[in-house]
Amino acid sequence: MHRNLARSVRLLSVASVLAAGAALAPPASAAAPARPAAAAVQRAADNPYQRGPAPTEASITAEKGPFAIETIPVPAGSGTGFNKGTVYAPTDTSQGTFGAIVVSPGFVSPEAWISWYGPRLASQGFVVMTLETNSLVDVPASRGDQLLAALDWLTGKSGVKNRIDTSRTAVMGHSMGGGGTLEAANKRPSLKADIPLAPWDTNYSFPNIRTPTLIMGADNDFIAPASSMAESYYNNVRTAPEKAYLLLRNAGHMTFTSPNTTIAKYSIAWMKRFVDNDTRYDQFLCPAPKPDAGIAKYLDTCPNG
């Protein structure tokens, strides 16, 4: 086991370094689509957290959602317990405040590798912060602490705090950042959702997770093998009220560092369903998605509310 874990760390370090040249530069802020007309926004009377128009397959798989967003750099020293990052926030607050999500990169991985999640999620109606970790080699437990520290700063001290509903928060991360996501959810059961992406952690016990948890893995991942990591974590998260496991088809460990429609679709659906309590997104999660060109396997408890 120790030899296998050591090999995984070596492979992860090599893969990250090789991919660095392709993704180090942070993306420029993309022009966001015009905000939805007020007449087009149908809000359910029994759900004050519902944001945006009724979802469709086209809207949930689109590169840009219905909300115009702004991009705000977060310099080092802005808060305690984390390094720096970038905030992506909707500019239209006419529908109310938004849920908040913080995203962590993986081992020896810069923020730029997970930056695509920022605008993709924010334009669907969330305030999102992507992190540059304190050190490229931080272990999962440290990354979990950084996720929570950044989340506390985002909701309590950032310039966009007034756009956030502090009762609706979530975390996600890739690789060791995915392990950190599990660690954070285990430490803070009040989170509304967590999404570990190809998670890597030597800890397999998360007895305090009370958070709806979506774990994604990749069928060709040789760094964090899905069968011994992602799926094992799914099986060991026994106290989550809802959980799901999505195995990507023809994908590897670094697939999560580039825009991917399947990853985005189910991340958005999960966050909308559990952070916004928006049952309009049940259609994408329950009945369970069937294996297709993008999905090799899907396990779940089916969120029926």
- Phi and psi at residue 53, to the nearest 5°: -70, 170
Is residue 253 among the annotated active site residues?
Answer: yes
**What are 216's two structure tokens?**
């994604």
Catalytic residue among 16, 115, 174, 253: 253
Long-range contacts (CB closer than 8 Å, 24 or more residues apart) made by 297-301: 297/219, 297/245, 297/246, 297/247, 298/244, 298/245, 298/246, 298/247, 299/231, 299/234, 299/244, 299/245, 300/242, 300/243, 300/244, 300/245, 301/242, 301/243, 301/244
CA neighbor of 50 nearest in space, from 302, 291, 277: 277
Rounded to the nearest 10 degrees, the angle between the axes of helix 140-156 and helix 176-187 is 60
User: What kind and span of H or E run contains 3?
Assistant: helix 2-23
**What are 198's two structure tokens?**
């190809």
**What are 20's two structure tokens?**
């660095």
**Beta pairing, strands 213-218 & 243-248:** parallel
How far is residue 80's CA from residue 62's CA, in Å, rounded to a whole number? 35
User: What kind and span of H or E run contains 148?
Assistant: helix 140-156
Catalytic residue among 175, 194, 267, 276: 175
Catalytic residue among 165, 221, 276, 278: 221
CA neighbor of 285 nearest in space, from 191, 210, 200, 214: 214
Is residue 174 among the annotated active site residues?
Answer: no
Contact of 201 with 234, CB cutoff 8 Å: no
Is residue 175 among the annotated active site residues?
Answer: yes
How far is residue 38's CA from residue 96's CA, in Å, rounded to a whole number? 13
Contact of 281 with 298, CB cutoff 8 Å: no
**Beta pairing, strands 213-218 & 193-197:** parallel
Which residues are known catalytic residues? 175, 221, 253
